[in-house]
Structure 1
């Protein structure tokens, strides 16, 4: 018997941004794999496999192995699985273990990037969209930062570090920046300021930078 894997986008963090498809998929799954914070968004979960960051790969492998045994498994991914999500990792593990890609379905979710664009009223199909989660090549932002388009970025480091990097590489200190912090949560914060002031400010790791 062949199982099924659903890679489920859970949105930016609030249950308000869960899609009905995501809710129904998790409800009908034999197992649900995800961070504790992600799993807690759902009211109806049969068997929970929660993990912290250090356990991520081991738990994803466990999820794939359960599917190989014939189970239906939902793997939760913050935002949208295809944008700084677990899509590629799950596909790689599945391939290594011989699980047929045809038995994997991606349930898209609302990315925090989309919510940042909505909060700042940006038509984001004409923006530079960049993620640096899990990447160290922050210099990739330099060729596009002055191309006349708004840049929406997920920093890999602290927001202040990215702001300082841009200042160190010649971006003007009065450049307009909006930091969208903890989007969709009760303590959501939208800060409009200059690049220089952002480089001198503290934010949590859950941020989007919008650079005009």
Structure 2
């Protein structure tokens, strides 16, 4: 029976990938992942399937190889269990066939760079969904957001201004762990006027919750 190994690739730079992840990738004959992750690895001797976000295609490739008794590796950004591919794959594959190797999430990395604890943070995602920011900030002193190009940090900051939440503190991390990493802090009006961010996470702090 084929084994499916979901490997958390961490925030981006391979320096943050643990040895066990490299070992798992080495043992697998089939590797599925985004072009960014695939380009970082020496996998010339493997059957490689690039993906662009089409998770149905991932399942199709896995099922195609299931009867061949080969190990299959799925490369996942950050940690597979934090708004990652693991949730989707568990809906279509048997849990007994799956092994998960956790990774350092970009959010975990972000809080380390900010040098603040994150045990009390509320984490959510703006990928293809709407979130009631005012309600969240009323109940949580820190919220962390996975953003995308549609719901960018700039747009979210403008929404905070519209909601009258101009005194909350924002920290945006872009291209985390890469040489072109950028981390900026400011208030909503300041962040709203900045250039577009790529591959970003966002932390909003409201210590007073006074609204």
Shared fold, TM over 0.5: yes
Displacement, 1:113?
0.2
Q: Where has structure 1 moved over 3 Å in runs of 4 or more?
A: none
Q: Please give the secondary structure, in 1, of the residue aligned with 2:110.
A: helix
Matched, 1:149 2:148: no
Indicate the SS of the match to 2:155. Answer: helix
Residue 189 in structure 1 maps to residue 188 in structure 2: no
- For structure 2, which runs of at least 5 residues remain unmatched after alignment? 206-211
Structure 2 match to 1:198:
191
DSSP-derived class of the 2:197 partner: coil
In 1, are the aligned partners of 2:153 and 2:192 still within 8 Å (CA)?
yes
RMSD after superposition: 1.7
2:208 match: none
Question: Match for residue 209 of structure 2?
Answer: none
Q: For 2:90 and 2:121, how far apart are their aligned partners in 1?
A: 28
Give the whole-Å Cα distance in 2 for the aligned partners of 1:6 and 1:82: 13
1:29 touches 1:73 (CA, 8 Å); kept in 2?
yes
- Within-5 A mapping of 1:110-121: 110-121=104-115
1:8 is matched with 7
Q: CA deviation at 1:176?
A: 1.7
Where does residue 159 of structure 2 map in the other structure?
A: 165
Q: What residue is the counterpart of 2:73 in the other structure? A: 74
- With normalisation by structure 2, the TM-score equals 0.88
Residue 138 of structure 1 is matched in structure 2 by 131
Paired residues, what number? Answer: 202
Using structure 1 for the length normalisation, give the TM-score: 0.88
CA distance in 2, matches of 1:162, 1:57: 30
Q: Contact conserved, 2:121 with 2:141, CA < 8 A, in 1?
A: yes
Q: What is the CA–CA distance in structure 1 between the aligned matches of 2:135 and 2:68, rounded to whole Å? A: 47
- Compute the displacement of 1:148 (Å): 5.2
- Whether contact under 8 Å (1:159, 1:205) holds in the other structure is no
Distance in 2, Cα, partners of 1:5 & 1:160:
38
Check whether the contact 1:33–1:75 (CA below 8 A) recurs between aligned residues: yes
Residue in structure 1 matched with residue 26 of structure 2 by the alignment? 27
For residues 118 and 187 of structure 1, what CA distance do their matches in structure 2 show? Answer: 18
State the alpha-carbon separation in 2 of the partners of residues 147 and 8 from structure 1: 34
1:50-61 matches, within 5 Å, as 50-53=50-53, 55-61=54-60
Report what 2:40 is aligned to.
41
| CA-CA distance at 1:103 after TM superposition | 1.6
> For 2:203, which of 191, 205, 210 is the aligned residue?
210
Using the alignment, how far apart are the partners of 1:144 and 1:184 within structure 2? 28
